[in-house]
A and B are shown apart, each in its own frame.
Chain A
Amino acid sequence: MTPKKRRRLAFAIALVVAGAGAAALVVYALKDNVLYFYSPSDVQTKHIASGVAFRIGGLVEKNSVHHGHGAAVDFVVTDGKARVPVTFDGVLPALFREGQGVVAMGRLNDARVFDASEVLAKHDERYMPPDVVDALKRSGRWKEGQ
C-alpha cells in the first residue's frame, strides 16, 4: 500500500467509526426520549406498565370533568371502547371541552390513573389531532366528514 492509499484507508475507517458512533448515540438518545401514542383501547389491551411516559388521545367523556383542589382537574379520555381516567394539575388549553378531542402527555400511576403533565386540545373547530382521528378510526367511532 502506498502512503496515500494507507491515509485514505485510515480516513475511511475513521469515518465509518465516527458514523457508527454517532448513529449509536442517536439511537440511544431516541430510545429514552421517544413518546409512544396510545388510544384508551391500547392502554387496556397492551397492559402498559405504570411509570412509562406516553401520550394518550381520544375524546373527553361527557360529564367526566371534575375540578379538584387547587388547579387539579380530573377527566376521562375515551375512544368509545375503553376509558382511561386522567388527572392533571395545570391550565387546560382554551379549546378543552367535553366531547372534544384531546391529547395528554404523562404516565400511569399505581392506581392506573393517567397522571398528565401536559394537555393539548385541538387547534380549532375544524381541526382534530390526527392521532385522535386515528385512535377513533381504529375503534370504529370515526365518521368521515366529522
Chain B
Amino acid sequence: MTGEIGQLALCLALALSLVQSVAGLVGLRSMQARAIATSSALGMFVFTVLAFGALEYAFVTSDFSVALVANNSHTLKPMIYKVTGVWGNHEGSMLLWVLVLSIYSAGIAILKRGGEELTSAALGVQGLLAAAFLLFILLTSNPFLRLDPMPFEGAGLNPLLQDRGLAFHPPVLYTGYVGLSATFAYAAAALITGDIDRLWARAARPFMLIAWIALTIGIAGGSWWAYYDLGWGGFWFWDPVENASLMPWLVGTALLHSALATERTGAFRVWTLLLSIMAFSLSLIGTFLVRSGVVTSVHAFASDPARGVFILLILFLAIGGALALFAWRAPKLAGGSAFQPASRETTLLINNVLLVTALAVVFIGTIYPIVLAAMGTRISVGGPYYELFFAPLFLALMIVLPFGPRLNWRRGDLKEALRVLYPAIGAGAVAFVAVFALVSPRTVAGAGSFAVAAWVIGASVVDIVRILRGRAIAVAAFAAALAHAGLGITLMGVAGTTLWRSEALEVLGPGETMHIAGYDLTLDGVTVANGPNYQALRATLEVASGGHTLGTMTPERRMFPAEGQEAVQTAIRTTGFSDLYLALGDDRGHGRWTIRAYVNPLAPFIWFGAGLMALGGLASLWGRVRAMFFARDNAAVAEAA
C-alpha cells in the first residue's frame, strides 16, 4: 500500500512542480500567479516528503514486495543502514535529490529574499528543474516498482557503503549540489527580470553559503571515508567521482568571493551570474558522471543507458538554456563598478582567476579520458597531472589571500596592509626555516608549503586579535579568518602526509614484529569475530614505541555473506598530529598475514582544516541569519560576509 501512496505522491509532486514553473514565470506580472507559485512549491515539498517517507517505510519494514527494497536491503541489516539504505541505490538517491530540491524551493518560497518578482522567477526555474528530475524518476528510475512473487530475503547493501559516516555522506553532498540550484535559479531569475544589483547578491548569499558548507563537509567526509575504508593510506585519488564533487566546490568558492564584491560595491555582476550558472551546471555534470555509469566507481549505480541519455538531456537543456539566457540578457545588464589595482576587488579577482583555472585543470583531466573512451582508446589521468597544477595554483592563491581582508573596497593601501601583516610574514619565515632545518627528508616544497600555511594562519590570527580588540567588524571578518585558517591547516596536512609519510609492508607470523617510523608492531594473531551481518578476520597487533607498550590495534577484513562481498576495516591510532594506520592484507598460510602500515604525519590536519572552513561558512551564515531576524542590527547586515 505504501508503494502506491509513494507513487501517487510523486505524480502529484510532478503536477505541482509544473504548476509552480508556469505560475512562477507568469508571476513576474501577476500577484495571483505569485501566490499560486508559492503554494505549489510548498505543496510539492509536502508530496515529495510523503513519497520519500513511503520509501523509507518500505525499507525500514523490509517490504520486499518493492523491488528496490528487495535488491538493496536485507532483514539482518542493522536498522541504521535500513534507514540510510534508501539512498544507497540509484532510484532512492534520485528521490533524495528531488527531496532536497523541494526543500530549497520551499525555503525560497517562504523567505522571499530579494523581493516578490525575483522570488517568483526563481521559483519558476526551480519548478522546471524539479519537473525534469521527477519525470526522470517516474519514467526511468521508479523506486516503487513491485516485485511479484515477493522474495523471502533481500540482496543486501554493498558493504563498502555500510559505514556510519558514509551513511550520511549522500544527504550532505546533495545539500551542496542541489543547494547550488537555488543560486542557479536566482541567477536565471536575475537574467529574466533583467535586474541584478547588490540586493540580488544579498538575497542569494544564504543559499550559496549553505551549499558551500555542505559541499565542504561532504567532500571532506568522502575523503575521510576513502582514507580509512579503502586501506590504501591515501586521502584523495583524483578519481572522476571525487573530481565531480571538487569542481562545483571550486566554482562555489569562487562564487562566494565574487558575490561578496557584487554585494558590497556592485563589481563583477555579470561574472557572478555566470559563476552561479557554472556552479550548478557542474553539479549536474557531476551527477551525470557519477550516476550514469560513464565512470566506474562505487557510486555508479545505473547501468541502464536510457537513464544516462535522460540525464544528459536534462543537462543540455538546463545548461544550454541558462547559457542562452545569459548570452541574450547579460549584455543588457548594468556594468560593474571601477576599482583601483590595490583593492579588495583585485584580490578577489585573482582568487577567481586561480580557482577557475584549477577548475579547468580538473575538468580537462576528468573529461579527456571520457572523450577518448568514446573513440575507443582507454586511458586514465594520473594524480601527478593534477598535482603539477594544483600545487602552484593553490600556493599562489594562498600567498595573495591574506591581503584581501586587509585591503579596502575600491581603493586600498598596500603598505598599510603589509604593516598589519608583519607578524604573519614573521610566522611564515620562522616556519620555513624551522621546517627546512628540522624535518627530514629536507625539501624546499615542504618548507615552502609550511611557510605559506603559516602566513595564511598568521594573518587569520592577526585578524582575530584585531576583532577581539574591537578594531574590526566582528562576524564577517571572523568567519573569513576561520575559513582561511582552515585552508592553511589543510595545506599543512596535505604537505605533511604527501612529503613525509612512511610506509611498510611485511608478512608477519604470530609473535613477529615489524618496525615503522619509531613504532614496533607485534602480531598477536588473527582471530574470527562475528558482527551483526558480517564475519570478520581480526588481526591483533601490539603497538610499542621505544620499549613502551602503547596499546593494541585491530585491523579487520570483513566478509558479508548476504552480499557475498568483502571489505577492509583499517585500524588508525592518532595522536592528533600523526596517524599510525594499519590494514590487514592476505593470508599467507601457517598463521602468517601481510600487514600494511603507514605513518601519516599531520593527516588529521586535512580534516581539521576542512572542518574549520565549514565552521567559517557557518559563522558567516549565522551573521546572515542574525541580520535577517534583527534587521535593526544594520552593521551586521552590511558587513556579514
Contact = CB atoms under 8 A, between A and B. Distances in A.
Interface of A: 22, 25-26, 29-30, 32-37, 55, 67, 70-71, 89-92, 94-96, 123-125, 127, 129-131, 134
Contacts of A96: 586
B388 interface: yes
B507 A71 contact: yes
Contacts of B298: 123
Contact of B379 (A25, A29, A35, A127): A35
Interface residues of B, number: 40
Contacts of B378: 36-37, 131, 134
B30 to A, nearest CB: 43
Interface string B454-483: 000000000000000000000000000000
Given A22-B360, A91-B583, A124 B594 contact: no
Contacts of B564: 124-125
A101 B456 CA distance: 47
Nearest to B158: A124
A91 B505 contact: yes
8 contacts: A33-B385, A33-B388, A35-B380, A67-B588, A70-B507, A123-B297, A124-B158, A124-B564
Interface in B346-387: 357, 360-361, 364-365, 368-369, 377-385
A36 B377 contact: yes
Contact of B160 (A26, A89, A92, A123): A123
B565 interface: yes
A61 B435 CA distance: 49
Contacts of A70: 505-507
A123 B557 contact: no
A95 B377 CA distance: 27
A26 B583 CA distance: 36
A134 B577 CA distance: 45
A22 B357 contact: yes
B580 to A, nearest CB: 17
Contact of A89 (B365, B505, B568, B588): B505
B169 interface: no
Contacts of B384: 32-33
Nearest to B230: A93
Nearest to B503: A90
Nearest to A124: B565
A130 B296 contact: yes
Contacts of A90: 505, 596
B154 interface: no
Contacts of A34: 369, 379-382, 385
A98 to B, nearest CB: 13
A91 B597 CA distance: 11
A127 B231 CA distance: 20
B596 to A, nearest CB: 5
Interface in B502-542: 505-507
Given A30-B381, A91-B586, 9 more contacts: A29-B388, A34-B369, A35-B380, A35-B381, A91-B583, A91-B585, A95-B566, A123-B160, A131-B296
B567 interface: yes
A129 B585 CA distance: 22
A77 to B, nearest CB: 15
Contact of A94 (B382, B385, B507, B557): B557
A94 B564 CA distance: 12
B116 interface: no
B337 to A, nearest CB: 19
Smallest CB-CB A-B distances: 10 pairs: A33-B385, A37-B378, A91-B585, A94-B566, A33-B382, A33-B384, A71-B594, A125-B564, A91-B596, A34-B379
Contacts of A129: 296
Given A37-B380, A70-B507, A30 B567 contact: no
The interface centre, meaning the residue of B378, B567, B585 with most chain A CB atoms within 10 A of its CB, is: B378
A90 B597 CA distance: 11
B563 interface: yes
A35 B361 CA distance: 17
Contacts of B160: 123
B389 interface: yes
A129 B357 CA distance: 32
B368 A30 contact: yes
A12 B489 CA distance: 39
A33 B380 CA distance: 8
B363 to A, nearest CB: 10
Contacts of A94: 557, 566-568
